[in-house]
Amino acid sequence: MKILLVTGTRPNFPKIAPIAAELRKFPDRFEPLVVHTGQHYDYNLSQIFFDDLELPPPDCMLEARGDSPTAQMGDIIIKLGELLAERQSELVIVVGDTTSTVAGALAGASQQIPVAHVEAGLRSGDRTMPEEINRLATDAMADMLFTHSADADANLRAENVPEHSIFRVGNVMIDTLMRFRERARQSAILQRLSLTECGYVLVTMHRPANVDDPARLRSLLTAVAGLSDHIDVVFPMHPRTHKRVQEFDLTSLLKTPRLQTIGPVGYVDMLRLQEAARLVLVDSGGIQEETTVLGVPCLTMRENTERSVTITEGTNRLIGCDGDSILAAALEVVSQPVASFDPRIPDLWDGCAAERIVGVLADGIVQR
């Protein structure tokens, strides 16, 4: 089976890597081709992750271009369509909820090629989020919907997705986490940043709703700066966030003694920073899942989350986007003794999701 695996942004690499590796174990059954659309490509956001994850360079780089998400999506669809036809692909696998995800699904569906969506069924209920539209559109086109939790299954059933198309396989991101967890513990990132175990808060933020609004970004950064009056804070800054901080003239808010702003870091270093943190403060989806398995408290600076299982069964808590509320919630966590408990890890988040996905593909179960 000739399979095209589509990726385009850093959060999707830990999802693609275990699937590609598992498919390559069966060269007599599968011919996987990893395609990087070129979305948001630069070394720190892309190639360093391929290196960290021991993933060979992409088999194909589309170098998609466009001045807007719509234009970029159109370029991806055209280039993927040409590649699918040239290679006579038999299946398209897309992961996550990015522009590349929905573009890959559209390219496959338009040529009547079956589409498999990994991380299907996640819903925030907020259609102002571009990711939510991408999730809905991708799932509507997918023939095989691989989910990681019971609530995702329920969401798909509520949208009348046929039962035979839903496969709960677990979370492929956790496959990657478990594979590289020991290696991450050998990272020297804490020493390089003069951090101590459980002695700092890790902060990330990049979502447009948080960083593109000057007033909201100011409020969030004020909360982060206020938190650094009480505990060390490390803030790997996404290029989008860095650009907005400069554009809105907010750099001075980050000049406090116990707050370190650094550039993007690779997967292994980021995993180490998460596992050793006293608290993780984020607006990212994937980190909500990783902290759940790591057993690290996570506060999510959003009004909703598509990963509700990290709240019902994990370590995550939604705290909204008000700076004062965020600071109060963070101080409450860091003022308490370090929690000693076994995290409640969702069912099938055991490091074997990619194996299950490939098992389904090996069975040839595609009904349209």
Q: Is residue 298 within 8 Å of residue 310, measured between CB atoms?
A: yes
Q: Which residues pair with 316 in a beta bridge?
A: 298
Q: Is 230 an annotated catalytic residue? A: no
Q: Is residue 143 within 8 Å of residue 165, measured between CB atoms?
A: yes
Out of 206, 230, 238, 242, pick the active-site residue.
206
Indicate the angle between helix axes 267-275 and 172-184, nearest 10 degrees.
80
User: Which tokens in the block code for residue 270?
Assistant: 């980021």
Task: Compute the distance between CA of residue 308 and CA of residue 150 in angstroms, rounded to an integer.
Answer: 11
User: Which tokens in the block code for residue 122?
Assistant: 């996640």
- Residue by residue, DSSP assigns 101-154 as HHHHHHHHHHTT--EEEETTT---S-TTSHHHHHHHHHHHH-SEEEESSHHHHH
How far CA 91 is from CA of 6, 64, 84, in Å, comes to: 11, 21, 9
Catalytic residues: 206
